Structure 1
Amino acid sequence: MRKLIVLILIASSGLACDLTAQVIQTPPPTDLSAPAIEATSATGSASESAPPDVQNGETTILVTDLGPTETYVDENLGYAFDYPAEWDILALPDIPGASVTISSWQQEEAGSGGIPAGGQKLDITPLLQVSYMEAQELVRQQNQGIDLVETELDLPYGPQAVLFVYPVEEGLPEIRQMVTSVNGTTLMFSGLGETLTFFEAIAYTVRAVE
């Protein structure tokens, strides 16, 4: 968890572009524009909390159904992603390149308090001064000696990505990170939670917008 916090702080120091963001309500996604998408219910099989069924460079992805969703859109940087409609979102559109935090519980402000039982959250951070390849190497360097599971992905909407799954330790939250690039901006998805049921389902919806 300390590595995750350090990584987010490093990423935040390179923010330098104007950001205009909005949240729009959308119906549940019915087509992720991928050749094969297999979904499971949120209370279904045990595979939900395991790494996705993805081989390097393939587009067959096992994800959890998000149910009703909203869509976060960053019009300036040109990316969007979906998240469960009942989740809380914290965004700072007046701060250039600020991270977006979404959580399964209501937060008063970013970084306040701990994670409640069963809670999970994602931070989406634009890395404005870091390339896609540099961001991957940053994760590896910050986690030397940790047995990360690293998987290369072709996401349903087209972007390439690398998923990093951290080893699970008893009594500690699960941690996952995904690095991708959308419309020339490197994005870091960082997840933390007792069980990260929705990490892949949310992160894999990231896409370019005009």
Structure 2
Amino acid sequence: MVSTRSNQAQELLQEKGMVRAHELARIGVAGDTLQQLLRSGALVRISRGLYAAPDRALNEHDQLAQLAIKHPHMVFCLLTALQIHGLTTQAPHEVWVAITPNARAPQGSYPPLRIVRFSDPGLQVETISLDGVVRIPVTSVAKTVADCFKFRNKIGLDIALEALRDAWRQKKVTMDELWESAQLCRVANVMRPYLESLA
């Protein structure tokens, strides 16, 4: 019986990379069975309620993947999104996430979170695979650049300009995408002179 549950757990881990305790419980791996799999080494506990395969290779985005699985309502944005998209030389010491205005903010997590409330964080969100398995929600490149201009007083205009230049230089966005995102974020007038200098 345990070997069947172990096989089911391994299949789920192959599919998702990391799984939450309630996902394991759904396939019948809970309580004593879960403890047996942990003792036998078939599963490894990464953090509270989060499990992975023992042979899973760690990578630089592991903490982001853990946060995405633990808090599926969050969207990575601003400096963290710039880092994921490869558009900054900055290494943020906080993870920037967007949640809806009425959503409950996660408490006491590591790494520290910098929470920004967006009226609709699902707007222009793409799902990126970090390690080939775990998928995380992150704002699109164009939306990230527009958000940087919107929050330029918090992150600095120099970072917003660097993000715009790098996104354009690396051909990760088109002028139409940038303009559409600028209008959605209501920073079209702020971004217009910088967009005109690129064209």
TM-score range, shorter chain: under 0.3
Higher strand content, 1 or 2? 1
Higher helix share: 2
Higher relative contact order (CA 8 A, sep 6+): 1
Structure with larger Rg: 2
> Given the two structures, how large is their TM-score scaled by the length of structure 1?
0.23
TM score, norm. by length of structure 2: 0.24
